[in-house]
Structure 1
Amino acid sequence: MTTAPIEIPFAWEPAWFQTCAPAEMTAWRGVESQAQVATWRLVDSSAEHDALEGMLEASKPPLPEGCQGLHYLLFTPFRYTSPYQSRFRRPNEAGIWYGAESVETVCAELAYWRHRFILDSAGLAKDADGLLTLHTLFQTRVQGQSMNLTEAPWDAGRALWTHGADYSSTQAVAAEARVHGVEWIRYESVRCPGTHCAAVLSPRALRSVPPFGMQEWVCSTTRARVIVTHKDSGTTFSWDF
């Protein structure tokens, strides 16, 4: 079911950007673990794998300014544009690195988008067994000029920032934030209320600490339920839809 856009008489003031200030957060991010497995299936040796990876790298878009020297887990979201929107990015706009303050929040976001993928895929939507995927979760430090949508004066627009489906307001405020030199946005998670996320607009905000704390998680997704399980500890989060 699609949530209807909301109309609230709210507009931010240009002066509000003066409240932006340097801030930091240790953030978790999850990525699907498939690239290395997929390429190793095509080769017979390490030398062939290195050659294949080199060819693939040459075919990719050049790294945007500020990404040189970053780990690929940090620069990849900035490298590509997408015709599909996200909460703070309009279709085909510059990429954004999304992270969250806790593993549970990352898993909640992952569960939402895996479920959306199932519903949007006609074949998978009919498959009672659903989809099983492997994901790597990791941490890094987000540090730089920040806008905090959970604090005054920005929290006056909370109903807009936390809308479940209408991203027009968050996309507009992110575009304006770039103009004012904001490097990352702190905001409330919609999929795991009460926790916080980071939308990193500039790779400069990811330069202080390389990825660390790698974990492997398995995600089982069906039309009715998503279960995310840590491979080693067995820690499990689940959501019914």
Structure 2
Amino acid sequence: MPNVRPYKSARQNVWRLIEGQYRPATQKIVDTSAEQEALEHLLEASKPTIPPDCAHLDYQFSAPFRYGCYPHNSRFRRQGPTPGVFYASEHALTAALEAAWITVKFYRASPDTAIPRTARNHTAIQADIQVPVALDLTDPQMAGQGNWTHATEYHDCLELAEKVRTENCELLRYQSVRDPDARANFAILTCRAFAQPAPVQTQTWHLFHTPDRVIIDNETLRQRFEYLVGPQRFEPVK
């Protein structure tokens, strides 16, 4: 791994998509608002304790840091009891593509599961991030010092994430693998990185999947995008 890293301070607004069904899911099994509130409290009490340095944050920001046992390796977080990572994107569309790829992976792993013929609803949340120490992996000094954009192998990224945490780095900027326009993603490594405790902006998005493509609607801005599903990324429709 590189011994010298071009750390800089950073201030950046980033986007992340979250599922939009968290309250309707419990509403379906109760009869009144009071019952729903009681059920929500029971569910909250059953979850892991929020880390103290994340307690001031909206749950949409603190959730990735709350669950300490991670089910599988991701680009900058190892499987097991490892520190949390808030993954986000510079553009909301990139965040939508990243969320859509998770669904693609799920159905590839379960080929006998039918893809629903309805769109999945998501909320795009925008976070205001400010950190004194950040690292841009698209910087020419870093670009050739590790494989930061492999579609499935995360060894170099995981090694780097562990090292930079010891050097007080709180933000990694890197190229999206799933976005055909290769726009930027971010890995936020600490709760201290959030300059504001709640989203500064939200949008409503809908993701509709078929076996060979995804149709993405930004309801807020009345925009529609369509992509083909490639082997490891989305491809433009020609």
**TM-score, normalised to structure 2's length?**
0.88
Q: 1:98 aligned to 87, 109, 114, which one? A: 87
Matched ranges for 1:71-86 at <5 A: 71-80=58-67, 81-86=69-74
Is the partner of 2:158 in helix, strand or coil?
A: helix
Does the C-alpha gap of structure 1 residues 86 and 130 become closer, same or farther in structure 2, counting only changes over 3 Å?
Answer: farther
| Aligned position for 2:209 | 221
Q: 1:197 aligned to 179, 185, 199, which one? A: 185
Matched, 1:56 2:43: yes
Provide the C-alpha distance between the structure 1 equivalents of 2:112 and 2:118, rounded to a whole number of angstroms.
11
State the Cα distance separating 1:203 from its structure 2 match.
0.7
| Aligned position for 1:161 | 148
Q: Deviations over 1:117-171 (max 9, x none)?
A: 11112332xx36556311110111111121111114212236x001111111101
Does the C-alpha gap of structure 1 residues 63 and 128 become closer, same or farther in structure 2, counting only changes over 3 Å?
Answer: closer
What stretches of structure 1 move > 4 A for 4+ residues in a row?
128-131
Matched ranges for 1:1-241 at <5 A: 11-13=1-3, 15-16=4-5, 19-80=6-67, 81-92=69-80, 93-124=82-113, 127=114, 132-144=119-131, 145-157=133-145, 160-192=147-179, 193-208=181-196, 210-241=198-229
State the Cα distance separating 1:213 from its structure 2 match.
2.0
| Count of residues paired in the alignment | 225
Q: Deviations over 1:170-225 (max 9, x none)?
A: 01100111111111111111122441111001011014352032111111112211
Which one has the bigger helix percentage?
1
Provide the C-alpha distance between the structure 1 equivalents of 2:142 and 2:40, rounded to a whole number of angstroms.
44
Is the partner of 2:61 in helix, strand or coil?
A: helix
Does the C-alpha gap of structure 1 residues 232 and 206 become closer, same or farther in structure 2, counting only changes over 3 Å?
Answer: closer
Contact 1:100 1:106 in 2 (8 A): yes
Unaligned runs of 5+ in 2: 230-238
Is the partner of 2:26 in helix, strand or coil?
A: helix
Provide the C-alpha distance between the structure 2 equivalents of 1:34 and 1:129, rounded to a whole number of angstroms.
15
Contact 1:26 1:101 in 2 (8 A): yes
| Aligned position for 2:236 | none
Contact 2:65 2:83 in 1 (8 A): yes
State the Cα distance separating 1:233 from its structure 2 match.
4.3
Contact 2:18 2:124 in 1 (8 A): yes
Contact 2:128 2:200 in 1 (8 A): no
Does the C-alpha gap of structure 1 residues 176 and 65 become closer, same or farther in structure 2, counting only changes over 3 Å?
Answer: farther
**What CA RMSD, in Å, does the superposition of the two structures yield over aligned residues?**
1.8
Is the partner of 2:145 in helix, strand or coil?
A: helix
State the Cα distance separating 1:111 from its structure 2 match.
2.2
Provide the C-alpha distance between the structure 1 equivalents of 2:199 and 2:220, rounded to a whole number of angstroms.
19
What percent of counterpart residues are identical?
32
Provide the C-alpha distance between the structure 2 equivalents of 1:77 and 1:33, rounded to a whole number of angstroms.
16
**TM-score, normalised to structure 1's length?**
0.87
